[in-house]
Structure formats: C-alpha cells, structure tokens
Structure 1
Amino acid sequence: MTLIHKQDMLNKLHKKQKEFFGKPNIAKQASKILFVLGIGGLSSLEAVGLCFQGDEEHCLSGRFGVGASYLHLDSSQAKAQSYGGFVNAEATESYKRFQALLGIRLGLGGITYSGATFDSLGSKELALNTDVKIKLGLNILTKNIPLFVNVVLGDDYLGASSASGTTSKGFNRNLFYGGLELQGAVPVSSKGRIEYSAGFNAISGWYELGKTYGAKSGLKGFSYGVSATLGYSQDIDERKEWYIKAIGKYENLAQSRAVPFYATYEGNPNPISYRSFGASQNFGLMIEAGIGY
C-alpha cells in the first residue's frame, strides 16, 4: 500500500470520527443526558418531600384530621362546659435526628355556664377555639422506634364573648404555654404503629370578661398544664397513612387580676365593682382521625 493510499484511509477515518463525535452530536447527547438527570433529580426530590417522618434523612410530612372535643372549666365561682368539633393540620420537617412541627387546630361548638361569676357576666352559647403550636425535637432512640424530646410553644384561645363594652356577654381566654414533651412510636406490624406523647407546660395568659370594655384580666400566679395522646397509625401505601388518636389535657390556672366591671346599661362611666376569674382546674378530651402523607 502506497503512502498516498494510507493517507487517504486516515483522512476518511478522521472524517467519520469527526462526524460521530462532532460538536452537534455531543451537544445533542449532552442535552439528552441533562434531561434524564433533571427528571431523575425531580423524582428524587418528590420522593424525599413526601416521605414519612424518619423514613429518610430529610423529609417533609403532613397530617390533616377532624375530631370532636369536650372542655370543662371549673372554679369556685364559675363553671363552663364546651363541646363541639374541630379540624387540625400539622406539617413536620425532619432532618436526621431533628424535627420541627407546626400545628393549627380550629374548633367551633356550644358552651354552657353556671356559677356566680357568669350570673353577673351573662353568657353566650357559641364558642370558638384555636390552638397554634410549634415543636422542636431531638430523637434520642432509633429511626424505627423513635422517641423525640420536644420543646413546645403554643397559643390556646377560647372565644366565648359576643362583643366588647357593657353589653357583652361571656368571656374570652388566651393562654400562652411552653414546656417539654416526649413523643414516640412503637411498630406493631409491618405497616402499623402505636403513637404516644406526654408533656408538661408552664402557662401564662389572660381573660377578657364581659362588661369590662375589653380589659385584660391576667393570671397572677404560677399556672401549668399537662397533656397526653395515645393513637394508632397505619400505612395505606408508601405515600399515605391513616391515623386515629385520643387527646387529653389538664390545666391548673391561677386566679386572674381584678378589672373594673360596669353596669349593664350604657352611659355610666363608673364601674360598679371589680371582677376576676377564680383559680380553676380544667380538663379537655378530644378524639381525632385523619390522613397523613
């Protein structure tokens, strides 16, 4: 084979290599690779975003439930019972052993009164209850059998007053609480688990009593509350679960500070006396069921 023939063959080979590995082909192949990687990345992100708490190092999970509630307030001069329904939504962000939770519960129901305090305050038959809480926790056990030690902060509002001024009825109550909680789960099957929690909170807050022009009657001593939950959850599939739980709480609240109490008719600028809400021991019971994802 002559030198010229060898050179021609090399030129043809170089030409074919250039056609196959040329810039247009490289760009085209690269775009395909990036597209596949992008779809895969999004799929991975979606899977992480919808995982159950503790299934991955980093995930976001949520729950939405409905339920029924009963609340009993008991002091020497005032007793009240509230009963109704509620909706509850929670979102939990977890990373390795840490978790952060935001929960919002909104309830509406009837309320009844008795006692000398409410005889003078009047009453209202409808009550609104909201509870907003934040939890920050650390898992001190394992991923499969977690036990979180949570720091809890919250705001519990009970609105049972019709309006401000001398013609208002009933009362409003706003409690701010903070404390510690243990929250855990124990598997009982490949898909089901028992869930539980128990906590202690210090409480501050105020009442807004009827016929006081909205004056805040703050708690004037140490107050506290304890709470507990017991429930069961089971996987529907890898992305969803259903759950049911019972919730109980107890509050020991100090007497509130006295505020001016006005006459039942408009136009009298002077209070006829002073009113406060007595020390109370209260409890609440709830049952909730819903879906988690």
Structure 2
Amino acid sequence: MPTMDRLRAMNYFVRAAELGSLSAAARSLATTQPTVSKQIAALEAALRVRLLERGPARVVLTDEGARFLDSARRLLEDYDEAVTALDERTRQPRGLVRISAPVALGELHLNALMLQALQQYPELRIDLLLEDRFVDPIEERFDLMVRIGHTLPPDLVARELATWPRYIVASPDYLQRHGRPRRPQDLVRHPFLRYLLGADDTVQLTGPGGTVDVPVTARYRLNSAVALLDAVRDGAGIAFQPCWMVNELLRRKELVRLLPQWTGPSQTVHLVYPPRRRQPMRVQLMLDLLAAKLRAL
C-alpha cells in the first residue's frame, strides 16, 4: 500500500473511530461511505489486523484498533506539521480555517475581520459558522471557536480573552415617553426586554450597594441578540446589553446608559480549540487576529 494512500486511509480510520460511523466520517471528509469503507479495509489488509467492527449503524474499535488510534493521530499530526513548516517558509498562510462564533458577535464584529483577513492573505480560506449553540470541534472539524458564557469541556484548550460588562440601556425616545429610572428599584415600573434562554423574572445588578436582585416585567423575550438590540433601539423597553454591542450606539447617542454605576452580570469570552502540539500557520494567524479583536471590544 503506497505511503500517501496509507496516510489517507489512516485519516479515514481516525475520523470513523472519532465519529463512530463510516457515513459520518464520509460526510466530514466530503467523500462517500463506500470510499471510506474501502480505504479502511485496505489499511486493515496492509496491517493484517482488524481495526473496526462494523455494525448496521455504528463502528466500534477492536482492541488492536484502540491501540493503533493514538499512534495514527500522532502520525497524521506530524505530517500536518511537516507540511505546515514548508508553508511557513513562504510566510504566507494558506488553506482552510474553520471558525465557530455566536451569531450577534459574528454579524456585528467578526465578519468584517474575516473579510480583512481574506483581502490581506490571498491564499487563505475561511468557513465562519455563526450559531449560538456549543459545537463539538472534534466532530464538526472546527479549528477555532469563540464562546461566550458556556461551560467549557475539559478536553479542549480555552483561552480567556476578556470580561465584558452588561449595561442597562434604552432609547432616547423610550425615556422621553416613560421617564428615566434613577435607582434599581425604579426598574420595576418599566417593561424589560430579555434574551429568551435562561431569562427569569428578576435581574441582578452590581453597584455601590453590592449586588441586588430586582423583579422586572419581561413583556418581550426572544432568542436573537441582534433582534433584541433592534427592539431596544425602536423604543420597546429597557434591556441589558453587553458593552461590545452598544458602545458605538452610546457614543452616537442612539442609546442611553441608565444607572451608570450599576452593571448586569458580565460576559466572559474564550477562544476554544482542540489541543495540538503546534497550530498550523493559518490557524495561529486567525487565533491572533481574533484574540486582538475580542480584547479590543
């Protein structure tokens, strides 16, 4: 079995072992299930061992396959690093970087960063998936993930980049119609706009008097941070908003920060990625660009 064919077959084997099925491996590698099956069978024949037990829906590692898996991963990583080292001698990042990020952060800030990177590095390609759910970087083949406020799995590398305060904001039009709250207890008389997930009937504020819980009336709850911001700008009510979403609007006086000595629960942002001994140049570049951008917010 030629060396390059063996490397390809090992890649198919590792993906099938990680995902638990030949069809899932085929989808992740943009090929067909028969191709994956044929390549792994050829690898097993070359090694003279059975690596996977095939079932109707799933594959399971044999004892020999479990022992071979770690070695195969290391060999593939070494090969990738060798190719990366050749690329780095040209000082031009090239190839695909797959990034996952929350929807609002991506639309408002990261999309522009991606376009700048593509313009500056003509051989770079980027997949940017904007979803608020936590994706599995191993199963879904992501190089980098931007996460805000999620529980972080222990088997991933997580770099904490910034902690963002959340402000209480409203539009000038809303305040003209309803008046301005002067203390936390005044919020009881105002309609609150809330992000749907995890929202309850109280808001927590931290300020000169410590931390207080204030009961509020949430007349409108929704699961889109961008739509929530639009509702605030349209004068529908008062809301918590993270500083990175509203700083520019506050500067332009399109929104007003209320109770400026008080803030809501802060957001912590992490860059998350699978552990590897060395990041390819293209991934390290995007990691550095994202870190700088997120800290600046």
Output the TM-score relative to the length of structure 2: 0.22
Answer 1 or 2: which has greater helix percent.
Answer: 2
Larger Rg over CA atoms: 1
